[in-house]
Structure 1
């Protein structure tokens, strides 16, 4: 195994400024942004084979593209600021982003695509700037940092972005735009929306401790991390099993992998079945035939993971387990936010069930519990979440506090592989150490598309070992690496 890349030599480091002066006003942080001040910066990046140009030319090209991208995304070149009343906002002041170039000539791409024990190689952790940086520090550190790691036969481009400034949707829109500009596109195809007129903007003030908040979990606790890959065929098989039907050919599941677009509990005529069932239950007439709800592929996958991890943790039957999912609220609020609204527009939905029920019921039942909560998270629910936060402004408590929590983040719908900087698509997408703890899961699209999904799973070492021996879970895994 190659040496830890955290000690790779620094070739150069500088501040990159926007190539045009910002015209975007200061942006107030929303009730979805502010809770993230206690979270680490988002760390995501792409692994590429060797670009067909010298390292110096590559670095120069990327700096130019980043400068252009910062003009399209002025908040990323700014800093956080807190006014006299306690409101936190983004000062779009063109202070610039951090850019570094490190040399890892002893590391090959194949070294990074697997390790002897199958876990994600630790080398990735050193490919990211702002390691374990808390988002509050954006008051005096760059909001965005980019690191280019030169490898023996490839390159890794890693980005760290303040989590109080972006969610996954905003992050990947920036990354995609950065790649577009690198390959010579003059104007990005998906311009961000910086509006701040929605119910997410509040008059409530988040009171922070002196020196800022800290992360709410132990960043140094031992964990193992693996990528579990699920092929299109495997997911079709799982979804058919959850929906208690035979697998039929020609199923188009690509559009079923989102966490929100198809997470609706419907019967064939498009009406929600729970209300119809409740009405019939209180009617004097005989209830109509029950039409089974269609469980989405992603919910089927989450249910499989929920059961596998719960079994691996060997929890008492009475122990309450929590499966937490992040949902995109852009289309849930009224009036709707723009799809490319820049900032955090997510809320976290917890589903809580006793361990005995998670394991004593079947996969479909577990998936139905997740489905019910996602369906119920409409505009009124978003508003109630906002009102609850306004009554008690607080940072988001991220972690596994009772040993029975799972947190699902990211999305297989994010365009992570739509990043051609001028020499082809990535061979892999990976993340750093940020916001990782026992039970943190991130969903990525598979590189070959077509409905494949990669789950980045972080677990305590003994839990991971038990999950790898779980026959129900592993029968659907195509590759574990």
Structure 2
């Protein structure tokens, strides 16, 4: 039987950028500042077969790759600084990052639990602490038959898009790539850069949820076929299609093709309707399942929050690889009675309307609202009826090869987890498969696991 004890740290050192930074201080934006009360992001990749190199050489390769990656991402090697006027900056001062080697050799890849513990540094650290501690820590944990590479990144400095761009670059440089494929953009000239000061309490803000409340965590897997089946059901698909294109295939193509045909008049369709996306379909399925499992009274208002990327929503658009936070959390509301008395499509339509309405004007309106009442983001489930969706199945989590192949799994640490927190990952098999990391109160999780509507789309491990 595999021991469930956590890995222990064997060594720790500081890694510095390979080249000195010429990047000046970067002011935190209205999307960065609210994250000062959040834990560091903790995400990592699990690799199955250790490479032929001895572990000492593996660690040397990773340290070298990390040093080169930091020279491309100077903010990650810096520290937070608050000036005399109260503005918070990332000082790109080459202060270095923590690099840890941990022994988890009592674990085997196939036995690694979904809720990993001890595989990430800075556990429980709030992002404000970036004033005194590194912005980034990398922990490499050796397993009996593999390696886990875990990164902890200050959430006031980076969002998911920025995190995975760094992780991908770290992998590229570690395996010997000379020219990185995705160059980050460090500009600070958008509406997100505000003259408003966020006033913080002495000692900095704390997380806004109880990290000690009992919860269960589970990853629910949805194959490409299962996602397409759900999406077809939600969209009441009755289309007549030319050329023998399968309906399920079409559903997977529609969102990309609307970029080429923005009026929605696709050439192979005789009839077209507004599409509800795969992700919105999955979110609606989850919203209904969790609401049922919570056994809420019909009049209880529920909230489904989704983190949306604002880079392409703003006008003028931000660079797709803009480094920092460029996200907003948008809520959709409905009573428990409405959710359970209507069908799945109705729930998905509510989410679809919220996302569709979140364009340039709405993004700017939320910036103005924050400026009138600057505060840290209130993360948590405050009324027992909230769901918060984070991360994205579009992030390139499996596009990481440090020199010994693609990851076999993606895992997260204990950061920012509470009843109702959901994180979406791409499935390893790609092609539209999705993994949902779900954190719920134990009794709610038991109810979701026995929910027929939800579980019919879930695939076995």
- State the partner residue of 2:399: 418
Whole-Å Cα distance in 2 between the matches of residues 254 and 451 of structure 1? Answer: 8
Q: How far did 1:478 drift? A: 1.1
The answer for the alignment partner of 1:150 in structure 2 is 142
Matching residue of 1:215: 207
The 5 Å alignment of 1:247-262 reads 248=246, 251-252=249-250
The equivalent residue for 1:31 is 30
Residue 8 of structure 2 is matched in structure 1 by 9
CA shift at 1:187, angstroms? Answer: 2.2
Residue 454 of structure 2 is matched in structure 1 by 473
The answer to whether the 8 A contact 2:101-2:140 is kept is yes
In the TM superposition, residue 243 of structure 1 has moved relative to its aligned partner by 1.1
Aligned to 2:128: 136
Shift of 1:52: 2.0
The answer (yes or no) to whether the contact 1:257–1:297 under 8 Å persists in 2 is: no
Partner of 1:405: 386
Task: String of CA shifts for 1:59-118, please: whole Å, max 9, x gaps.
Answer: 011000000000000000000000000000000000000000011111110111x5xxxx
Q: Does 1:64 align with 2:64?
A: yes
Following the alignment from structure 1 to structure 2, what is the Cα–Cα distance between the partners of residues 11 and 186? Answer: 31
Alignment of 1:197-208 (within 5 A): 197-208=189-200
Please name the residue that 1:74 is paired with: 74
1:430 aligns with 2:411: yes
Q: 1:334-391, CA deviations, whole angstroms, 9 ceiling, x for partnerless residues?
A: 1110000000000011001000000100011000000001011010101100000011
2:243 aligns with none
Change (3 A) 1:37 1:257: farther
Q: What secondary structure does 2:202 align onto? A: coil
* 2:110 counterpart residue number: 110
The answer to whether the Cα contact below 8 Å between 1:29 and 1:164 also exists between their aligned partners in 2 is yes
The 2-side partners of 1:228 and 1:338 are apart by 33
SS of aligned partner of 2:60: helix
2:227 aligned counterpart, secondary structure: helix
Structure-1 residue corresponding to 2:326: 345
The partner residue of 1:296 within 249, 274, 277 is 277
Contact 1:36 1:164 in 2 (8 A): yes
SS of the residue corresponding to residue 249 of structure 2 reads coil
Distance 1:63 1:393 in 2: 39
Distance 1:255 1:183 in 2: 33
Give the secondary structure class of the aligned counterpart of 2:14.
strand
Preserved contact between residue 65 and residue 178 of structure 1 (Cα < 8 Å):
yes
Secondary structure at the aligned position of 2:44 is classed as strand
In 1, the alpha carbon distance for the partners of 2:372 and 2:399 equals 41
Helix, strand or coil at the partner of 1:302: helix
1:136-173 residue CA offsets vs partner (Å, 9 max, x unmatched): 00000000000000010000000000000000000000
Residues of 2 paired with 1:422 and 1:447: CA distance?
18
Are the equivalent residues in 1 in contact too, given 2:43–2:152 (CA < 8 A)?
yes
Deviations 1:116-144 (A, max 9, x none): xxxx2x4x221000101100000000000
Aligned pairs for 1:274-293 (under 5 A) are: 292-293=273-274
CA contact (8 A) 1:406 1:439 kept: yes
Scaled by the length of structure 2, the TM-score of the pair is 0.94
The whole-number CA distance in structure 2 between the counterparts of 1:449 and 1:254 is 12
The 2-side partners of 1:458 and 1:257 are apart by 29
Counterpart secondary structure, 2:46: strand
Shift of 1:188: 1.2
Q: Which residue of 1 aligns with 2:17?
A: 18
Q: TM-score, normalised by structure 1?
A: 0.90
Q: Deviations over 1:194-242 (max 9, x none)?
A: 0000000000000000000000001111111111111111111111111
Match 1:195 to one of 187, 196, 217? 187
* Matched residue, 2:242: none
Equivalent of residue 370 in structure 1, options 336, 351, 356: 351
Match of 1:336? 317
Deviation beyond 2 Å, 4+ runs, structure 1: 1-6, 245-250, 252-258, 266-270, 290-293
Which of 293, 301, 307 pairs up with 1:320? 301
Unaligned stretches of 5+ in structure 1?
Answer: 115-119, 271-289
TM-aligned CA distance change 1:448 to 1:291, over 3 Å: closer
* Partner residue in 2 for 1:46: 45
**How far apart are the structure 2 equivalents of 1:139 and 1:173?**
23
Q: C-alpha distance in 2, partners of 1:246/1:477?
A: 24
Give the secondary structure class of the aligned counterpart of 2:118.
Answer: helix
Helix, strand or coil: the match of 2:117?
Answer: helix
- Separation in structure 2 between the aligned mates of residue 128 and residue 325 of structure 1, nearest angstrom: 25
Q: In structure 2, what is the equivalent of residue 461 of structure 1?
A: 442
Give the distance between the partners of 1:129 and 1:292, measured in 2 at CA: 48
Cα deviation for residue 267 of structure 1 reads 7.5
Alignment of 1:82-121 (within 5 A): 82-112=82-112, 120=114
Q: Contact between 1:256 and 1:298, CA under 8 Å: does it hold in 2?
A: no
Structure 1 pair 241/253, CA: closer, same or farther in 2 (3 Å)?
closer
* Compared CA separation, residues 257 and 459, structure 1 to 2 (3 A): farther
Structure 2 equivalent of residue 441 of structure 1: 422
CA contact 1:172–1:415 (8 Å) conserved in 2: yes
